[in-house]
Structure 1
Amino acid sequence: LDLSLQKGGLIKGDKIIGTLRNLVGETLIENLPIPFTAVAADIQAEKEVWLNNGPLFDAIRASISLPLFFTPFNHNGVLLVDGGVLNPVPIAPTFNDRTDLKIAVNLGGAVADVKQVESKAEPANERPFLHQKVAGFIDSLRDGSVAALGLDWGMYDVANQSFDAMQSTIARQKLAVYPPDIIIEIPRNACGTLEFDRADEMIELGRATALQHISN
């Protein structure tokens, strides 16, 4: 992670994208073997932006720009943030392609009991210094509590729950307008917004859930 000194977010994201470039190599979206569209949001014009041509990692960087955490991405003079702000389940771009089956993954599914596997995260004292600082900042936002509700929620928890509620409502509306053939619902409490260390666990949950839906 590369800490940002700008006001737009905590993390610049350059190191993440740089790592991906080193692994995959630079490529253009139009040269990919299957159609791909990344969805970002133009926060000034208040509209979705579909990125389906040009540098792949520019599109990815724009679409992962989670407000507050990642700085917005300047794409040809337009400030873009995570497309999930306006459309958490971007099905509409698939209607431009010839498909046999449309499968949508909704990460804002109903809250459920989710069995968690043991985290493979490194011990706190072995994590990079910057990682510890960011984690400490997030933890500091959890210290306060919402006593009136009897919940041990800090500022971060209240903001996160509010954002989840908004996203879940938008997702249901989008799914109603653009119904896919199969909807894979992932409980929105399966993973926290910043629990990147649980990637392997979430990939396995997604794989198992997808196989269950497809087999049915």
Structure 2
Amino acid sequence: MLNNIKTYCFQRSLTLFIKVSLLTTISLLASACNSLTSAAHSEPPTLAAPSVALVLGGGGTKGFAHVGVIKALEKNGIKPSLVVGTSAGSIIGSIYASGYTPARLEQLALTTTDSELMDFTLSNQGFVAGNKLKNFINTHVRQRPIEDLPIAFAAVVAEKHSLKKAVLTTGDTGLAVQASSSVPNIFIAPRIPAKVGKKYIDGGVVSLVPVDSARDLGADIVIAVDVTAPSIKNTSANSYKINLSQLRSLSSFWGLLENSIIANASASANGLSNNRSTQMRLERDRADIVIIPDVGHLSSLDSSQRQTLISAGERAANEQIPAIKRLINAKTSSKYTKLQ
């Protein structure tokens, strides 16, 4: 009997001990969870950085100024998440988006020869085939399609017959740049997709500084670079026609891009509205920041002043750095507020 009582008491004590231990453990776990939750709530949410688009306009040889703009931006810690380019801007932009540092980009700009980019041909469609340009771009982006570039990239083109704008964000990078740089009557318009698709020409026909395209792609901040003259004057297409003998006298591949004035003149001859240049200027002004390098006094046909053009782009961008930083900070604060 005594043994039974002792056994009973021992079992009761053991049960009570287990209950107390479980309650203590649960209490400690609950306290720890509350502490973790409080700590998590006390930490501010991560600031959402605004997406910054760098829009590089057409401009023939003057497009070398884009390199200087990129140098200044990166030197000040400003790296775009999207690059949109037209014509010469698509050439510089695609290589930059592929991962080139400003130093490498500048070195390439200063050392690339016209023979690496220009392949003359005899055709009723144009004087330059464009295959060298396509291959040059694909070599420097390491054969990657647009969608695989480290920085999001888009090339702006125009469908040859309808003159409808198209924004290329996937596919063959070199082919996209070739199309975006194919000045009508000078370069043979490539087909996209190759051989079977529609023909596309210089994006400068419809969007010389493609700000709206950057907005459509989701950019919070658009920094546009315009390397053309202060105003684009409508001039008769006949005054811009270039015959083969004139073409041979032009020493620069970049000069043939002629800041898309040739493209605009040709488009006007095909029935493009006379106010197209005004519309494109208004589009440029819809950017948050417009950088205009002082290159109006330099010829678009002269590629011997590449360093001068690069320096002009860098100076113009440096002047805008404070405004760009203020805008990025303001947009960052705005996004942070929305997260609260």
TM-score of the superposed pair, with normalisation by structure 1? 0.67
* 167, 171, 186: which one aligns with 1:69: 186
Does residue 174 (structure 1) correspond to residue 283 (structure 2)? The answer is yes
Closer, same or farther: CA 135–17 of 1 in aligned 2, 3 Å: same
Does residue 44 (structure 1) correspond to residue 161 (structure 2)? The answer is yes
Looking at structure 2, the residues matched to 34 and 72 of structure 1 have their Cα atoms a distance apart, in angstroms, of 27
Q: Which residue of 2 aligns with 1:82?
A: 202
Q: Which runs of 5+ in 1 are unaligned?
A: 112-131, 139-155
Q: Which amino acid aligns with 1:169?
A: T
Q: Once the two structures are superposed, what CA deviation does each residue of 1:136-188 show, in whole Å capped at 9, x if it has no partner?
A: 268xxxxxxxxxxxxxxxxx9xx86x85x977534323235xx1110112457
Per-residue deviation at 1:193? Answer: 3.5
Does residue 102 (structure 1) correspond to residue 236 (structure 2)? The answer is no
Looking at structure 2, the residues matched to 42 and 55 of structure 1 have their Cα atoms a distance apart, in angstroms, of 17
Q: Once the two structures are superposed, what CA deviation does each residue of 1:36-67 show, in whole Å capped at 9, x if it has no partner?
A: 11000112112101100111111111101112
Closer, same or farther: CA 23–108 of 1 in aligned 2, 3 Å: closer
**Alignment length, in residue pairs?**
173
Q: Which residue of 1 aligns with 2:321?
A: 214
Percent identical = 27
Q: Which residue of 1 aligns with 2:300?
A: 193
Contact 1:109 1:168 (8 Å CA) reproduced: no
Indicate the SS of the match to 1:50: strand
Indicate the SS of the match to 1:40: strand
Looking at structure 2, the residues matched to 172 and 41 of structure 1 have their Cα atoms a distance apart, in angstroms, of 17
Closer, same or farther: CA 202–41 of 1 in aligned 2, 3 Å: same
Q: Which residue of 2 aligns with 1:136?
A: 249
Per-residue deviation at 1:11? Answer: 1.1
Looking at structure 2, the residues matched to 204 and 198 of structure 1 have their Cα atoms a distance apart, in angstroms, of 10
Does residue 56 (structure 1) correspond to residue 173 (structure 2)? The answer is yes
Looking at structure 1, the residues matched to 250 and 287 of structure 2 have their Cα atoms a distance apart, in angstroms, of 39
Indicate the SS of the match to 1:72: coil
- Where is the strand percentage greater, Structure 1 or Structure 2? 1
Looking at structure 1, the residues matched to 250 and 318 of structure 2 have their Cα atoms a distance apart, in angstroms, of 38
Closer, same or farther: CA 171–75 of 1 in aligned 2, 3 Å: same
Per-residue deviation at 1:70? Answer: 1.6
Contact 2:206 2:280 (8 Å CA) reproduced: no
Closer, same or farther: CA 174–184 of 1 in aligned 2, 3 Å: same
Q: Which amino acid aligns with 2:184?
A: P
Contact 2:158 2:165 (8 Å CA) reproduced: yes
Per-residue deviation at 1:133? Answer: 8.0
Q: Which runs of 5+ in 2 are unaligned?
A: 1-117, 232-244, 252-257, 266-273, 324-340
TM-score of the superposed pair, with normalisation by structure 2? 0.45
* 18, 28, 46: which one aligns with 2:135: 18
Does residue 29 (structure 1) correspond to residue 146 (structure 2)? The answer is yes
Contact 1:39 1:50 (8 Å CA) reproduced: yes
Indicate the SS of the match to 1:200: helix
Q: Which amino acid aligns with 1:32?
A: L
Closer, same or farther: CA 68–6 of 1 in aligned 2, 3 Å: same
| Greater relative CO, 1 or 2 (CA 8 Å, sep 6+) | 2
Looking at structure 2, the residues matched to 43 and 193 of structure 1 have their Cα atoms a distance apart, in angstroms, of 24
